[in-house]
Structure 1
Amino acid sequence: MNMKRFTAPTTREAMNLVRAAYGDDAVVLATKPCAEGIEVLAMEPEGLAKVQEIAARGAGPGTTVKQDVGTLGMSTLSFQDYVRERMLRRRQAELQGKPDPVMAVPAANPKPARQDSEAERQRRAQAQIAAMRAQRVDSATVRAPAPAAAPRSGSAAQRWQAAGAATRIEPQMDPSPRAVAGAPILSQAAPQPAPRQGPVAAAGNARDEARLRLRQPAEAPLRRNPPVLRDEVPSVPGIEPGDFGAKASRTERERADLMRELKDMKGLIEQRFGALAFMEKLQRQPLQARLAQRLLEAGFSPALTRKLVDACPSAFAAGADEQQWAQAVLARNLQLGATPLEDRQGVFALIGSTGVGKTTSTAKLAAHFAAKHGAANLGLITLDAYRVGAHEQLRAYGRILGVPVHTAHDRASLDDLLDLLANKQMVLIDTAGMAQRDSRTQELLQMLAHPSIRRLLVVNASAQGETLDDVVSAWRAADCEGVVLSKVDEAVRLGPALDTLIRHRLCLQAVANGQRVPEDWLRLSADELLQHAFKPRAESAWSKDGQDLQLVFAGSSAVLAAAH
């Protein structure tokens, strides 16, 4: 019989190994998971026949056990008594020189015994049980002494019954909770003087005493109460239960503070070394230093300036310089609307901070659309109900154009007006001006969260770069249709506005460079805007020279590191 273990990552692979080793008729004995995956214990097909043959040869002891079980099935003997009786039977067979009655295979054919009817087996078992109960004595009776000279004649079964009759005591139930149910209790009796006996009788008595010791039941184990499971954790002396959570949270905070300090230190080191390396590069390459100075003079941020300087080539062809190269790169990165706003259709809402020119830009766009497509295809709505007489300005422009102006106070009225003006090709919505940090800004954005409304962010071109970044973030410019750049005529430097559009990747739709309606509504190209941004200006206190570059880049090291 050949058994073998097969291991594989999956059950399918393990069964393939078994099939390859023993064929399709292999016998699988067991499967279990292991470190390699699945372990299969299998043997060859001929091994099953060998197992059955071995089982057939060893059927003798099993037959004897079945007979004993049939005999004692309805008795009140415990399992310990059953085992002791089998051991006593073996010991008697050894003393008489006979084969083991338990393990010996009967020579006769056991089939007739198996063919006995069920009624006969039950009747025979009941007769044996009645004989056993008749041989028992009351538990209060003193144990009788063994016979002095037991006759050696007779069968082993008779001697076994005699010994059992002398020693078996009726079990009692101990009312104490520590006693086990069904455990026999032996009564203690006073010793009686035994008569004088010869050597043969003394040997017989010694054997009887050995048998009695074998038949004495083991001491009943003490019953233990079941353990009580409790949810509470025993408190440690000197430590409150809440101290563990406080210490854990304090440890977590200290670890977080340490990690934050390490990150800040790492960032500071990288910024300083980066700034030093960049300044050393500018000192070695005058061309890049001159480009950085021009970009900073035009109003571009240090972050965008450093990117351009790092990408700037060390030499140019004849007739070209670093400023022309920078203008070409910036023009490619400045996004412009493909179609003018006055030639498009839909619902547009102009939003932005206070005083950026939303109402004027709405009037300019409305005038251009009415001039091309007619005033009958235009609708005007105002949401500016905060300022006193704010809607009167748009109504004055509407009367000039011949277009009525409607006022919406909330989201419901706005939806009704949009349904009313659904047949118009273009509907313009003028909104109230609010600071980018005002809480009402988010309320206005939620009011304009209509599927058909597209937002246009109006940005003041003369604002500082930091202010423009804050405005773009607060008004969610990334979700807008585009940007209208207003007050270009008031801006001394156009670089901050163009820098914001390039870094945030916003689309420029139109440019407003004055108060006149509709003349000051332009659509400039990227080259025109960059030429205006790089236009030379007179010297002022805000002008920067080569010595100021180190101060600029050292002061904005955090921005440079983030951009890099």
Structure 2
Amino acid sequence: MNVKRFTARTSRDALNLVRQALGDDAVVLSTKPCPEGVEVLAMAPESIEQIERIAAPAPQPMARPAARPAAAAPAKAAPAARPAAQAEVQKDVEQLAMSTLSFQDYVRERMLKRREAAMKAEAPQAEQRIEPEMSPLQAKLTARMNAPTAAQSAPMAAAPVVQAPAYREPPTLREEVRHAAPAPIPAHVPSLADVPHDAPRASHRASDEAVAAQRREQEVMMTELRSMKGLIEERFGALAFMEKLQRQPGQARLTQKLLDCGFSPALIRKLAESLSPDVSDENAWAAGVLERNLMTGEAEAALEDQGGVYALIGSTGVGKTTSTAKLAAAFATKYGAANLGLVTLDAYRVGAHEQLRAYGRILGVPVHTAHDRASLEDLLELLAAKKMVLIDTAGMAQRDSRTRELLDMLGHRSIQKLLVVNAAQQGETIEDVLVAYRASLCRGVILSKMDEAVKLGPAIDALIRHKLSVVGVANGQRVPEDWHRLSAHALVHRALRPTAGTAYRMDVSDMNLIFAAPQGRTANHGAAHL
């Protein structure tokens, strides 16, 4: 029998060559890829009959008596290649014992395995596919297929061979897996936590956390030391001051007097430190010092005599509109309503401009309304011939964001601002108002509601420390009778007047609560010149 080899670009072309050479009944033994395309091994149908005849059981020769040593020489003349030929023929018979369809299935499976191996080589990160073990017959056929095909293309020698074993279908992968012995399970399966590759990183993280914790402890310790230092300074400062007051009774009496009048500890400390032991009347001495440091418009001409453009500003409910009407009435009485101009910017409150218009109708002066800076500047040009122009503004809290907008709106160069301060407010509130409304840039301060103030000390104290001038005071609602110009002596005398209430009087033993803070932490705000 002859096994022929056919090569072509495709399987279809190779099978056409087989059909042309061996006929339609040709037996295809194998197909595999090759450099030319596809390689097909096939043989003629007559070769199947020859294989069947060869595979038929041969008659067993009868046993012959053992030859003598002298007669063994002719037996050596038999062909020496007989055993080798029989072994080769037996291998070929074992390879060709399977059917054509089974052989084609094997070749197809082999091609698929080679293709999967190529894909795995291209993607090395993919998981390796478990291949089943091959049976002994498949191993022989694989070795035969991988061997050079020269021996396969040669004609097979016709020689008596031993009967080939019956063909058995190779076991599938599922059967081999089912019959395979289970792999022993290890006693301990290592986990990711057992792998020590992250140990250096964990040690670095632990060291960083330890350093951070140590730094936090140091910061806490430094904070505690600073607070302890401040507490010690406060206690020793208070003890030193109280010891000084005990050595000098005049300072103790003056301190208690000023505390009862509502003056700030910063101003009281400066006065007490400046008090000489030779002073016999500490109250008169303190009044003289306060009068020299309180600035008023007593030495200057009155606002109604000076003329100009004035805008009255301040927080809500301090009496800006009433003060504007009082000042307008004082001016109209002297110079006539024709030389007076009234402008209101209060467009926030319902009917706020009607209050000033009512005063304007009484005085015979029209009231103009401006809603923005452009309209205000137009009105100022219109009223440029007037000797005095008064602008009433809307009341806003000192912490309102619109306060800055109002101050920017009044930024015209001809406008002079007058800050209206409620004399009955607390000292802290007055301090906040002076800072928010930029009192240092104002022409002066008008103290309103003096008739409602129980203690005038907080207001006088704030004016002294901020070096502000008092241009007028209002002590009632009457227009214009309750508009006055007071001197520094009158204001200080009013501030030092004792109050009738006793619930808020400070005892000598309670003064250490006021002077507990050290001197370096208390803001003097201009009291250093006392």
**TM (normalized to structure 1)?**
0.53
From 402, 406, 425, the equivalent of 2:368 is 406
After superposition, where does 1:85-234 map in structure 2 within 5 Å? Answer: none
Secondary structure, aligned partner of 1:492: coil
Counterpart CA distance in 1 for 2:363 and 2:356 is 10
Residue 388 in 1 paired to residue 337 in 2?
A: no
Q: Offset at 1:554?
A: 2.4
Residue 476 in 1 paired to residue 476 in 2?
A: no
Secondary structure, aligned partner of 2:252: helix
Which amino acid in 1 is paired with 2:351? Answer: G
From 333, 336, 343, the equivalent of 2:293 is 333
Residue 448 in 1 paired to residue 410 in 2?
A: yes
Change (3 A) 1:541 1:416: same
Structure 2: gaps spanning 5 or more residues: 1-199, 203-211
Instruction: Report Cα offsets for 1:352-374 as digits up to 9, x if no partner.
Output: 01000000000001111111222
Counterpart CA distance in 2 for 1:440 and 1:556 is 37
Change (3 A) 1:424 1:253: farther
Q: Which residue of 2 aligns with 1:47?
A: none
Q: Offset at 1:561?
A: 7.0
Q: Which residue of 1 aligns with 2:62?
A: none
Higher relative contact order (CA 8 A, sep 6+): 2
From 253, 256, 267, the equivalent of 1:304 is 267
Secondary structure, aligned partner of 1:350: strand
Change (3 A) 1:290 1:417: same
Q: Offset at 1:384?
A: 0.4
Change (3 A) 1:443 1:559: same
Compute the RMSD of aligned alpha carbons. 3.4
From 423, 429, 443, the equivalent of 2:385 is 423
From 455, 458, 467, the equivalent of 1:505 is 467
Q: Which residue of 1 aligns with 2:240?
A: 277
Instruction: Report Cα offsets for 1:507-554 as digits up to 9, x if no partner.
Output: 111111100000111111111111111112224211122222122222
Secondary structure, aligned partner of 1:455: strand
Counterpart CA distance in 1 for 2:377 and 2:276 is 56
Counterpart CA distance in 2 for 1:400 and 1:387 is 22
Structure 1: gaps spanning 5 or more residues: 1-236, 240-248
Q: Offset at 1:238?
A: 6.2
Which amino acid in 2 is paired with 1:290? Answer: R
CA contact (8 A) 1:350 1:362 kept: yes
CA contact (8 A) 2:234 2:517 kept: no
Which amino acid in 1 is paired with 2:330? Answer: H
Change (3 A) 1:258 1:453: farther
Instruction: Report Cα offsets for 1:46-75 as digits up to 9, x if no partner.
Output: xxxxxxxxxxxxxxxxxxxxxxxxxxxxxx
CA contact (8 A) 1:302 1:556 kept: no
Counterpart CA distance in 1 for 2:445 and 2:268 is 23
Q: Larger deviation: 432-441 or 250-259? A: 250-259
Secondary structure, aligned partner of 2:311: strand
Secondary structure, aligned partner of 1:489: coil
Q: Offset at 1:339?
A: 2.8
Q: Offset at 1:506?
A: 1.1
Counterpart CA distance in 2 for 1:356 and 1:268 is 40
Counterpart CA distance in 1 for 2:213 and 2:351 is 58
Residue 495 in 1 paired to residue 457 in 2?
A: yes
Q: Offset at 1:266?
A: 5.2
CA contact (8 A) 2:343 2:370 kept: yes
Residue 518 in 1 paired to residue 489 in 2?
A: no
Change (3 A) 1:258 1:436: farther
Counterpart CA distance in 1 for 2:513 and 2:394 is 41
**TM (normalized to structure 2)?**
0.56
Which structure has the greater CA radius of gyration? 2
Change (3 A) 1:340 1:270: farther
CA contact (8 A) 2:233 2:518 kept: no
Counterpart CA distance in 2 for 1:333 and 1:453 is 27
CA contact (8 A) 2:238 2:518 kept: no
Q: Offset at 1:315?
A: 2.0
From 342, 360, 372, the equivalent of 2:322 is 360
Change (3 A) 1:332 1:404: same
Q: Which residue of 2 aligns with 1:348?
A: 310
Change (3 A) 1:422 1:268: farther
CA contact (8 A) 2:332 2:363 kept: yes
Counterpart CA distance in 2 for 1:380 and 1:420 is 12
CA contact (8 A) 1:279 1:550 kept: yes
Which amino acid in 2 is paired with 1:326? Answer: A
Q: Offset at 1:336?
A: 1.1
Change (3 A) 1:441 1:254: farther
Counterpart CA distance in 2 for 1:308 and 1:255 is 42
Q: Offset at 1:284?
A: 1.4
Residue 534 in 1 paired to residue 490 in 2?
A: no
CA contact (8 A) 2:424 2:450 kept: yes
Change (3 A) 1:416 1:250: farther
Secondary structure, aligned partner of 2:508: coil
Q: Offset at 1:399?
A: 0.8
Residue 437 in 1 paired to residue 437 in 2?
A: no
Counterpart CA distance in 2 for 1:311 and 1:387 is 49
Q: Larger deviation: 254-263 or 445-454? A: 254-263
Residue 322 in 1 paired to residue 285 in 2?
A: no
Change (3 A) 1:256 1:415: farther
Q: Offset at 1:270?
A: 3.5
Counterpart CA distance in 2 for 1:453 and 1:252 is 57
Q: Offset at 1:442?
A: 1.1
Secondary structure, aligned partner of 1:517: coil
